[in-house]
Amino acid sequence: MTSDQRLPIRRTAKLFVGGQFPRSESGRSYEVWSSDGRLLAHAARASRKDLRDAIVAARGALAGWAGRTAYNRGQILYRVAEIIEGRRAQLEDELRDAGSPDPAREVSVAIDRWVWYAGWADKIAQVAGGANPVAGPYFNFTIPEPTGVVGIVAPADAPLLGLVSRVAPAIVSGNTVVAIASETAPLPAVSLAEALATSDVPGGVINLLTGHPDELVPWLAGHMDVNAIDLTGCPPDLVAEAERAAAENVKRVHRARTTDVFSAAAQHLSEITAFVEFKTVWHPMGA
């Protein structure tokens, strides 16, 4: 058989849960098409059970990830950027298939943004926290701590940069995440997951699901073991339902400062502190 007679090996894109690549427990998948009408792959169509498994994995990884030193979290995130840099050609091809107007720029900005947030890991406490002046024989400190498990609905456009812009600021402070990738262009998210799997990020810190938002977003927003949710990429017809569901356990609901993911305003300290709790500690001084 000559090379031009070969059948191409179709990609079967799987979920990323707990550091593993399971198929959907339902066995369902959906077709992923290029912007010019070519069948690219079959992506796993996550179910509510898959979502629950991802949340369990995120909760299980939370203590270990939050307990690492801030410096070590920064090192681990920087390592992810190194691996993404090495997969640049693949990511550019996938973004080109998805109709990105400038795949090379999107990959470059995504890598730079990941590095930018990695650099914040050991600076958050110094900038956002502090020692507070009080009138008395004691010290008063404000200390930032991670909120917990964060649900993320990634923007459908800019499928790599949009996802990175939401995930990186959430995990840098010690949170773990369950993210729903772009439905129409999930392959860059799957490739990011493959990079994560070969990095130092512990399993369960980042969990990525592909599928239909209307089947996943309401349950992510309503799950009682999710502490906060980022609705930046939530389809408009699901926003009100997601906000009502999030109110059941008083989740923190957040949206990005800007919808232009290429803008410099898209990376900001406030995107980190959106998923940080501030604890105030009193400590006696003197003899």
Q: Which residues contact 249 (CB under 8 A, 6 or more apart)?
A: 224
pLDDT at 136: 85
Please check the confidence at residue 157 and state whether its pLDDT lies above 90. no
pLDDT at 53: 98
Mean of the pLDDT values across residues 144-167?
Answer: 96
Q: What is the DSSP letter of 274?
A: T
- Band (pLDDT 50/70/90 cuts) for residue 5 is confident
Q: Which residue has the higher pLDDT, 73 or 284?
A: 73
- Residue ranges in 98-212 assigned as alpha helix (H): 103-120, 124-128, 161-171, 187-197
Mean of the pLDDT values across residues 125-146?
Answer: 89
280 phi/psi in degrees, rounded to 5: -105, 130
Which residues lie across from 44 on neighbouring strands? 29
What's the number of CA atoms in the CB half-sphere (13 Å) around residue 159? Answer: 28
Q: Which residues contact 273 (CB under 8 A, 6 or more apart)?
A: 124, 128, 144
Q: Which amino acid appears at position 72 of this protein?
A: N
pLDDT at 166: 97
Q: Are 176 and 206 in contact (CB under 8 A)?
A: yes
* Ranges assigned E (strand) in the chain: 11-13, 29-33, 39-44, 130-131, 138-146, 149-153, 176-180, 206-209, 228-230, 252-254, 276-284
Please report, rounded to a whole number, the percentage of residues in the chain having pLDDT higher than 90. Answer: 87
Q: What is the DSSP letter of 172?
A: T
User: What does the alpha-carbon distance between residue 148 and residue 263 come to, in Å, rounded to a whole number?
Assistant: 28
pLDDT at 3: 61
Which residues lie across from 230 on neighbouring strands? 152, 254
- Band (pLDDT 50/70/90 cuts) for residue 1 is low
- Band (pLDDT 50/70/90 cuts) for residue 114 is very high
pLDDT at 287: 52
Per-residue pLDDT of 20-66, as tens digits, reads: 999 999 999 999 999 999 999 999 999 999 999 999 999 999 999 99
Please check the confidence at residue 85 and state whether its pLDDT lies above 90. yes
Per-residue pLDDT of 226-267, as tens digits, reads: 999 999 999 999 999 999 999 999 999 999 999 899 998 999
Domain boundaries, the chain: 13-284
Q: Which residues contact 114 (CB under 8 A, 6 or more apart)?
A: 77, 80, 81, 84, 164, 168
Please check the confidence at residue 285 and state whether its pLDDT lies above 60. yes
Average pLDDT, the chain: 94
CA dihedral 25, 14, 176, 199 (to 10 degrees): 140
Mean of the pLDDT values across residues 202-212?
Answer: 97
Beta pairing class for 138-146 and 276-284: antiparallel
pLDDT at 277: 95
Is this model's pTM higher than 0.75 or not? yes
13-284 belongs to which homologous superfamily?
Aldehyde Dehydrogenase; Chain A, domain 1 (3.40.605.10)
* Residue of 100, 109, 59 whose CA lies nearest to 263: 109
Buried b (16+ CB within 10 A) or exposed e, 52-73: bbbbbbbbebbeebbebebeeb
